[in-house]
Structure 1
């Protein structure tokens, strides 16, 4: 699927999954430029897990699969820094990157296909139960997740990937899987690991 698109990247030490919200503090000139550009164009930017390097300073090496971030809200924090609230949208594969003079990484990306709508299978029913329990313990979950889809394999998988205390490389592994059932199988194995810790 070749949809030739350029996307500015914001590499982080965290993985953004589709549908998840994330708060960001923006202070580096290259990312302030990115936010202005996205605002002007009404477009999103890409968030990729950092494989090598740091969030600030020299351009980091981003993972090859990331998630488009759409800006939902912005404000100025008490420290005067710009704060953003973004939400994960489409997943993408990074084909090539180049670095602007400012240090901003621009990626040529191919969009991943949207998740197929698949019913939650009986062998994954436990994960639906786990997700319900997690949401019962989150204040304001009914506002954060106003339309739960407990019978949708993709939705259950992404919400668990967002909410479980997973290591970032495990979250990245889930992000890279295209099949919702395979994602849930992987989550079942990871939940075992989380339980054993």
Structure 2
């Protein structure tokens, strides 16, 4: 786990690895963040807000978040900048500081799911549930390769994305490093 620095965009939502999220950007500090990402080609961190609001003063973010990579941008009907981002690597916040413009920047350590962990037999039902959900909702993940349905981490993140979980439940999954323990948590949440 290498240490890095990442600007944060705290939200009242949890971005999961592999999930897409649309954002409207209007505050100067976040417009600065987008410009910075455009110059560096890097991403920013999205953390669940534990205390505070999405606009105004700096909010208190959760200790774990997900790197957001910008996939597309445009202008909404209201003239505001719109972003389409995708969740990438998980990270843990070690320390935060507030820039003069109010932007929260974190020193982080990466918590990546680099290896594919094969789905265990006790979690086979979860893969079947996910296949049924994707058959119903369609979308980008409906065309996933068969190999994806053997990847414990991918199964967990897609189920956490589509099931009606609370932000606290999604955050709990995000903070767990072991994909099989995350799947056990999901089974408990579903029963």
TM-score (norm 2): 0.95
- Tell me, in whole angstroms, the C-alpha distance in 2 between the residues paired with 1:45 and 1:103: 15
Q: Displacement, 1:114?
A: 2.5
**Structure 1 portions without partners, runs of 5+:** 193-197
- Tell me, in whole angstroms, the C-alpha distance in 2 between the residues paired with 1:4 and 1:17: 20
Partner of 2:144: 147
SS at match of 2:10: strand
- Tell me, in whole angstroms, the C-alpha distance in 2 between the residues paired with 1:171 and 1:105: 22
Residues 43, 51 of structure 1: alpha-carbon distance in 2 compared, 3 angstrom cutoff: same
- Tell me, in whole angstroms, the C-alpha distance in 2 between the residues paired with 1:65 and 1:122: 29
Equivalent pair of 1:116/1:154 in contact (CA under 8 Å)? no
Q: Which runs of 4+ in 1 moved over 6 A?
A: none
Partner of 2:188: 189
Summarize the alignment of residues 8-157 of structure 1 with structure 2, pairs less than 5 Å apart: 8-139=7-138, 141=139, 143-148=140-145, 149-157=148-156
**CA RMSD after TM alignment:** 1.1
- Tell me, in whole angstroms, the C-alpha distance in 2 between the residues paired with 1:53 and 1:137: 36
CA offsets 1:116-136 (integer angstroms, 9 cap, x no match): 312211111111111011101
CA offsets 1:3-58 (integer angstroms, 9 cap, x no match): 23110000000000110000001011100000000001000000000000000001
Equivalent pair of 2:89/2:111 in contact (CA under 8 Å)? yes
- Tell me, in whole angstroms, the C-alpha distance in 1 between the residues paired with 2:5 and 2:116: 28
SS at match of 1:48: strand
Q: Displacement, 1:101?
A: 1.3
Q: Displacement, 1:146?
A: 3.6
CA offsets 1:73-97 (integer angstroms, 9 cap, x no match): 0010001011100000011110000
Q: How many residues in Structure 1 have an aligned counterpart in Structure 2? A: 189
- Tell me, in whole angstroms, the C-alpha distance in 2 between the residues paired with 1:33 and 1:163: 32
Equivalent pair of 1:115/1:179 in contact (CA under 8 Å)? no
Q: Displacement, 1:165?
A: 0.9
